Structure 1
Amino acid sequence: MPNAPIRTVEGRAYPWGAENVDTDLIIPAHWLKTTRRTGLGRGVFEAVRADPDNVFDDPRYSGAPILIAGENFGCGSSREHAAWALAEFGVRAVIAPSFSDIFSGNAFKNGILTVELPQQAVDRLVAVAREHPIAIDLETRTVTTPFQDRFDFELDPFRRHCLMEGLDEIGLTLAKDTAISNFETRVATQRPWIAVETGHESTSLESPGRT
């Protein structure tokens, strides 16, 4: 399923702020037996949600599209299931001072925006998010609050483009469909010896001088 385009993400946010959250905490290993992406949202932060007072089951933040975390979010193993689970849980963006490179890449591929901000800005957002919504604008690369807070963030231009257009690897390839088709047609004309029909051998592939 293609990723949904992201221009803005706004609403309530989970004011968590926890540091060094690894992928095993995001989605425990016993949830990884499935070969499907669906159903993983039920296992998100299972250990944290064992506490009845956890932030993820607090009705004030139910369905929040934004998660605010501490530094080094997504460390640990490279499991893409962590991004799948967060996406199914409804998280469209994660704000933190830093992310694991692998998690950040997996999040991007699955249409989740990762926003890096200084710790001071994250602390302010955690405080605001306890009672008020926040907004992320990908067009202007800013995070704002109802109290005129405005925090700018950097984002790779290619990733920004893909997120705003809802493009994953397949979508990027399909966007070049005309160019790919034109290339294949040109190759079939200019180098017919490599344009072999599926399931058929061509004598043009035989060695020179062979009859």
Structure 2
Amino acid sequence: MEPISTITGKAVVLPVENIDTDQIIPARFLKVTDKSGLAAGLFEAWRYLPDGAPNPDFPLNRPEAAGATILISGRNFGCGSSREHAPWALQDYGFRAVIAPSFADIFRSNALKIGLLPVTIEQAIYDELVAMYANDPQMALSIDLAAQTVTLPDGRQVNFPIDAFSKYCLLHGVDQLGFLLNQAEAITAYEASHPQPVKTTG
């Protein structure tokens, strides 16, 4: 996992609430065991028309959305099942962060584990971003993980929450296993200073 410090890039707005994991990546795409190729199924029911042609009205298909790395969406993003393929598909598509007023807990956890940054903002800020994007579809944002801030197009900075452990892992580019492996020396020293009692028989 690559370390995350600052994410600066073009944003795209998908102004829909309660987007569930089946809408993010339909169940028929869950046969794979890694992220490779999952981008093809991202929002598949919305991105394509019944004849398989791209839906020109879907936000991600519009020319101005090309190259977007930050997705802005409505509250309760990622609800539904616990499938980890949902954040995998978003990341495989090229998104590095998702900004929303709220996230489903399991989606948030799965996203953090793979380095896809879920950024929670107030509803009022979300509404402003939707309006800003309508006026400027080339809108870019900057997310500073260390400072836990999002810099808006008008220069304002808003804070977002993240737990200390997830923040550490993202900043250092390690997952939970990697974090434990980095503590191997300290764990060994602790075990050496706390010998286990010898069991006796009889």
TM-score range, shorter chain: 0.7 to 0.9
Instruction: Give distance in 1, aligned partners of 2:142 and 2:97.
Output: 10
Q: Please name the residue that 2:38 is paired with.
A: 40
SS in 2 for 1:179: helix
Give 1:148 shift: 2.0
Q: Which shows bigger deviation, 22-31 or 113-122?
A: 113-122
Query: Are 1:62 and 2:66 counterparts?
Result: yes
The percentage of aligned residue pairs carrying the same residue is 47
Instruction: Indicate the residue corresponding to 1:169 in structure 2.
Output: 176
Paired AA for residue 170 in structure 1: L
Matched, 1:151 2:165: no
| Partner Cα separation in structure 2 for residue 157 and residue 9 of structure 1 | 18
Say which of 8, 13, 16 aligns to 1:15: 13
Q: CA-to-partner distance for each residue in 1:12-48, whole Å, 9 max, x for gaps?
A: 1111121000000000000011223311111111111
Aligned Cα root-mean-square deviation (Å) = 2.2
The AA in structure 1 aligned to 2:40 is R
Alignment counterpart, residue 131 of structure 1, candidates 135, 138, 141: 138
Q: Mean alpha-carbon deviation: is it higher for 37-46 or for 67-76?
A: 37-46
Q: Could you report, residue by residue, the CA deviation over 1:110-156 in whole angstroms, capped at 9, with x for unpaired residues?
A: 11111111111012122334232111111221111231232222221
Query: TM-score when scaled to structure 2?
Result: 0.86
Structure 2 gap segments, 5+ residues each: 49-54
AA partner of residue 141 (structure 1): Q
Q: Which amino acid is the alignment partner of residue 98 of structure 2?
A: V
- 1:5 alignment partner, one of 3, 6, 19: 3
Aligned to 1:198: none
* Counterpart residue number, 2:47: 49
Worse-superposed segment, 61-70 or 49-58: 49-58
Aligned residue in 2 for 1:109: 113
Task: Please say if 1:86 is aligned against 2:90.
Answer: yes
Task: Say whether the 8 Å CA contact 2:72–2:100 is kept in structure 1.
Answer: yes
Contact 2:78 2:104 in 1 (8 A): yes
Q: Which residue is equivalent to 2:52? A: none
1:4–1:166: 8 Å Cα contact kept in structure 2?
yes
Which structure's CA Rg is the greater one?
Answer: 1
- Contact 1:128/1:145, CA 8 A, preserved across alignment: no
Scaled by the length of structure 1, the TM-score of the pair is: 0.83
In the alignment, what sits opposite 1:73? 77
Q: CA deviation at 1:182?
A: 4.1
Q: Secondary structure at the match of 2:165?
A: helix
How far off is 1:181 after superposition?
4.1
Deviation (angstroms), 1:11: 1.2
Partner of 1:196: none
Identify unmatched segments of 5+ residues in structure 1. 194-204
1:40 aligned partner, one-letter code = L
Q: Give 1:200's aligned residue.
A: none
Q: Count how many residue pairs are aligned between Structure 1 and Structure 2.
A: 193
CA contact (8 A) 2:79 2:107 kept: yes
